[in-house]
Amino acid sequence: MKTLESRLSLDNEWLCGGAIVSPEYIISSAACMKDVGRTYAVPGYKTYVKLEGLYTDECTKISKRRLVSFSFPKQYKLDFDDVTKWSYVDIALAKVKTPFDLDKVEAQCSYKASVIPVNYVARFQKPGSDVIAYGWGHEYAWRMEGDYDTLYNSKTLKYTSTRILDKSTCKRSYETYPKLAKTIDEYMICTADEGFLDDQGNVKVKESPFLTGCSKEKGGPTFLDYEESYQEVVIDSTRKKLSEDSFNGTVRNKTVTKLRRRRIPRRRNRRQYGICQNDHGGPLTTWVGNREILVGIATMFRVNRSSWNACIGPHLFTSTLCNGEFIDCILSNKTTRRPVCDAPAIMRGYHVIENYVYWKTDRESDDENDTDTVIEQFVDGVKTPYKPQEPTLLPILELYDENRSDTLPAI
């Protein structure tokens, strides 16, 4: 997604990821949708396009879709001074003006857009599960203060394979924010280390078959001994390009990688296995059989100030499972809608804000000349005064500060 209107002080390369979850809706982070006006979703394109190129690029000028409504929990607060607020239920859905044509492949674009199923099943986000994160954001580090001209976004869509981490271990890495522990427990997925899935759902590596039993009493090495010492892995780059063939229809073909062998520590907090700046809202997926499903949305990572602002883990994603009722109620139609969706907020346990964006012109072909929008806000279906976000700056990092790490949004 790209926005032309936001009250955040952002560099020109701001973008957010998202996933198509119905012909009319995409899912992303609430931070990406909380206070924006003219915003576009671009489906079926692996190439990153700068803001000024939206109207001239051969793909984006015909495939981009206006976003005309944004729905998110009222509890979400876009307050960068309080990490517990901007990370709390950081999930939202946006509706496009013109539904995605899921049966058409634009010759100027990369692949046919398709709907990804949303996960509402607990076992698919269990610790130890292999997952994949996608994004066009920075590959290594948070942009340094004053550096607003260098392009750090990836030129093409990339992915990284990682694993879900147990929440108790994860919370220790964020213990400087005690209130965040509750949010992690209730709404988030935590990831760290390298996973063993490629972007088609194939297992990339297999453990060496040297064990004869898994008990230490038998005298041989055990799986735990092996995990603590080293792993033989097959990798080329830990954040990979999606192969040219991987955009053929809705099924991605296996990414071709070189093989090499090296020793890898069991626990590593490295950027390659997670998200970084401008990856906010990007999808976290896993595979069930031959189907890829959406399990989370990119929210948060840490930044190592003493290592050139390196993005490090554990990485936090807002879970679709843990926000299932909110998502399902937005997506459901009249025939499938459950009674709870129309129940009072006190019964549901949450309020819903819906911001409707009215563009100056009605035709999408006039987008380039449409320089103004009007936003109307509804809370639980009742119109309320819309209060724009106060202009604010993104967090500014101090460099070389005694090995400290800051917690920052993935934007």
Read off the pLDDT of residues 279-313 as tens digits, 9 standing for 90 and up: 989 999 999 988 999 999 999 998 887 778 888 88
Question: What pLDDT, on a 0 to 100 scale, did the predictor assign at position 390?
Answer: 60
Question: What pLDDT, on a 0 to 100 scale, did the predictor assign at position 336?
Answer: 79
Contacts of 233 (CB under 8 A, 6+ apart): 194, 204, 205, 261, 262, 264
Name 263's bridge partners: 232
Kindly indicate the confidence band of residue 119, based on its pLDDT and cuts at 50, 70 and 90: very high
Nearest Cα neighbor of 184 from 303, 280, 295, 317 is 317
For residue 228, the 8-state DSSP code is: H
pLDDT digits 0-9 by tens, 361-384? 655 555 555 556 788 889 988 988
Q: What is the reported pTM?
A: 0.80
pLDDT digits 0-9 by tens, 165-174? 999 988 999 9
**Pairwise pLDDT comparison (205 vs 270), residue with the higher score:** 205
Contacts of 404 (CB under 8 A, 6+ apart): 305, 306
Most confident region among 53-57, 69-73, 258-262, 360-364 by mean pLDDT: 69-73
Kindly provide the residue ranges of all beta strands, DSSP E only, lying in 4-91, ordered along the sequence: 8-9, 19-20, 25-28, 39-41, 65-73
Question: What pLDDT, on a 0 to 100 scale, did the predictor assign at position 333?
Answer: 78
d(CA 43, CA 192): 28
d(CA 90, CA 85): 9
47, 31 contact by CB (below 8 A) = no
Q: Which residue has the tokens 């976003």?
A: 67
Round the average pLDDT of the chain to a whole number and report it.
76
